[in-house]
Amino acid sequence: MSHNTFGHLFRVTTWGESHGPSIGCVIDGCPPGIPLTEADIQPWLDRRKPGGSRFVTQRREADECRIVSGTFDDGEGPVTTGAPIAILIENTDQRSKDYGEIARAFRPGHADYTYQAKYGVRDHRGGGRSSARETACRVAAGAVARKVLGQDVAIRAGIVQIGPHRIEDDRIDFGAVEHNALFAANAEVVPAWAAYLDDIRKAGSSIGAVVAVEAVGVPAGWGAPLYGKLDGELASALMSINAAKGVEIGAGFESAALTGEQNADEMRLGDDGAPVFLSNKAGGVLGGISTGQPVTARVAFKPTSSILTLRRTITRDGTETDLRTKGRHDPCVGLRGVPVVEAMTACVLADAMLRQRGQTGWAFPSFSETQI
């Protein structure tokens, strides 16, 4: 993680502003020989892209990606070559509008003030670099990471809380996520949540959310103690998503109220002689290394900062003012966080897989290679 690049062996660099001509990413360190075309990436971008329902911003972007380097077709379709994969996405719906007020005043909850304080200059058009638009690049990179991980690792996320409404752990069903516009991880909550969110939207307000993610199929052994722990890497990757304010692994903050007896995931041997955990409070990570159980995490998203209610703020020339953020916005930015959480998880895991392979020589153990 270093400014606009993350990852160690599977490294992603992103660039671009909300209202610039384009955005993009460069993926370096990808293994060679992996079939890859835009068709592997576009579905994930389509899933993230705005304008898909009334619950997300009405900005309409085609979000068509183009791979402009790093693949080569030697007769059997394009495959990765080991060279950096550059992906470009044009910005097509940057409305030309009067940014006068936003250019002067700092929108509360946004990064306007901090960018100005840090850099002495800021691209105020649509949030510039701090816009959630950048997350399209993360999703594109995540699509490539999924190809690196292969079929054996499945990563799924969904909304498990929106405002005061929460899906209990034992009712989470990631299979429901693709079938509702709220990305809710349970089909039954959708009508009530939709009504709730409609009210929020009509009021010009916004609301926070929690996204849960799980990665199934990660073998035991990924992650690099002590400062490259799998959970530490996940924490920074997920916290780096726009509007994220908290990350927890496994039982997370609930762990604080557990006793050692409740928390320790006991072990037994399965029918095939392989280790079996009897619970997963650890969220699939012990000592920073994967256990072979599903890796589970949750990310808290704050409500969208752009709301219609007048808020008190100041301007860059040092006067007080009140500001109402008009424009096309998300009533619950967490919804759009779902594909991004998946993508960041995929990138972290692909990186961990390559690092594991680098240090030890194996990424996925065959049964006979199982190390215990």
From 36-44, 50-58, 169-177, 265-273, span contacting its own copies (CB under 8 A)? 265-273
321, burial (CB in 10 Å: exposed 0-12, middle 13-18, buried 19+) = middle
Q: What's the rounded Cα separation, in Å, for the pair 340 and 296?
A: 15
Stretch that binds its own copies, among 42-50, 179-187, 189-197, 278-286 (CB under 8 A): 278-286
Using the minimum distance from each CB to its own copies, give the nearer residue, 85 or 338.
85
What is the DSSP secondary-structure string of 36-63? Answer: --HHHHHHHHHHH-TTSSTTS-------
Q: Is the dihedral of CA 325, 96, 130, 117 positive or negative?
A: negative
Q: Is 181 helix (H, G, I), strand (E, B) or coil?
A: coil
306 is in an annotated binding site: yes
The single residue among 47, 216, 288, 328 that binds its own copies, judged by CB under 8 A, is: 288
Tell which positions 159-178 bind its own copies, by CB under 8 A. 161-164
For its own copies (CB under 8 A), the number of binding residues is 162
* Residue 158 is a binding residue for its own copies (CB under 8 A): no
DSSP helix/strand/coil, 144: helix
Q: Footprint of its own copies on residues 124-143 (CB under 8 A)?
A: 128-130, 134
User: Quick one: which of 235, 242, 257, 250 has its CA closest to 330?
Assistant: 242
- Residue 126 CB neighbours (<10 A): 22
Among 172, 189, 210, 340, binds its own copies (CB under 8 A): 210
Amino acid at 200: I
d(CA 160, CA 329) in angstroms, rounded, equals 21
Contact call for residues 69 and 83 (beta carbons, < 8 A): yes
Minimal distance, residue 181 CB to its own copies, in Å: 19
193 is a site residue for its own copies (CB under 8 A) = no
Beta bridge partners of 323: 311
Interacting stretch for its own copies, rule CB under 8 A, among 5-13, 40-48, 172-180, 189-197?
5-13
| Nearest approach, Cβ of residue 115 and its own copies (Å) | 6
With respect to its own copies, which residue has the nearer C-beta, 57 or 130?
Answer: 130
175: helix, strand or coil: helix
Mask 74-103, x = binds its own copies (CB under 8 A)?
Answer: x----x-xxxxxx----------------x
Binding residue for its own copies, selected from 38, 64, 239, 280, defined by CB under 8 A? 239
Residue 360 makes contact with its own copies by CB under 8 A:
yes
The H or E element that residue 154 is part of is strand 154-162
**Three-state DSSP string of 291-324:** CCCCEEEEEEECCCCCCCCCEEEEECCCCEEEEC
Of 36-44, 57-65, 167-175, 257-265, the segment contacting its own copies by CB under 8 A is 257-265
Residues of this chain, 297-326, that bind its own copies according to CB under 8 A:
300-307, 309, 311-314, 316, 318-320
At 270, list the tokens. 């399965």
Please spell the DSSP secondary structure of 64-85, one letter per residue: -EEE-SSEEESSSSEEE-SS-E
Kindly tell me which residue out of 54, 95, 117, 188 binds its own copies, with binding defined by CB under 8 A.
117
Query: Tokens 């576009």 — which residue?
Result: 42
d(CA 242, CA 223): 25
201 appears as a binding residue in the annotation? no
Q: Least distance in Å: CB of 53 to its own copies?
A: 19
Counting contacts by CB under 8 A, is residue 16 touching its own copies? yes
How many CA atoms does the CB half-sphere of 27 hold within 13 Å? 32
Is residue 104 close enough to count as binding its own copies by CB under 8 A?
no
Residue 40 CB, shortest distance to its own copies, in Å, is 17
Does 39 bind its own copies (CB under 8 A)? Our answer is no
261, 271, 366, 367: residue in contact with its own copies (rule CB under 8 A)? 261
Cα separation, 268 vs 278, in Å, equals 7
Binding test (CB under 8 A) with its own copies, winner from 50, 126, 142, 283: 283
Residue 229 sits in the site that holds its own copies (CB under 8 A): yes
* Residue whose C-alpha is closest to residue 308's, from 201, 218, 222: 201
Question: Which residues define the annotated binding site for FMN?
Answer: 129-131, 242-243, 287, 302-306, 328
Residues annotated as binding site? 48, 54, 129-131, 242-243, 287, 302-306, 328
**Residues at the annotated binding site for NADP(+)?**
48, 54
